[in-house]
Structure 1
Amino acid sequence: LAGFDTSRSGVSKIEARLSYVDDKTMLYLAEVLKVQVQELFPTRMPGNRIHEFMEKLETTRF
């Protein structure tokens, strides 16, 4: 789809955060999902320190 060649298993791994997603794949995902690339990233509230934000992302599954 839109040049994005992956299996259902590959998509599941992306959704479960078990697979690394490079820049190129992010562009394909945004195109397929019809969203802006920045919408694929979590938002950080103002005042939230970047280190703490990243640490929480790395230890949390949605």
Structure 2
Amino acid sequence: MDRLYQIEKKKSSPLNLSFESVFFYFGMLILFVEVWIYVKHYFFNIAFFVIIYKMERGG
């Protein structure tokens, strides 16, 4: 009975900050930051190589 009440309470409040949801949001934040850093470096490297390539060709 007590466990069923806890499950119902967890379902009724979506922003219940238990340990699982804290770790979940923390992991999602880390994943988002890592993907953003990777994409940023990737595009900066492409732009850098394009600029170098154009300078080499005298453009």
Does TM, normalized by the shorter one, top 0.5?
no
Return the index of the structure with the highest Cα Rg. 2
Higher helix share: 2
Relative contact order higher in (CA < 8 Å, ≥ 6 apart): 1
TM-score by length of 2: 0.24
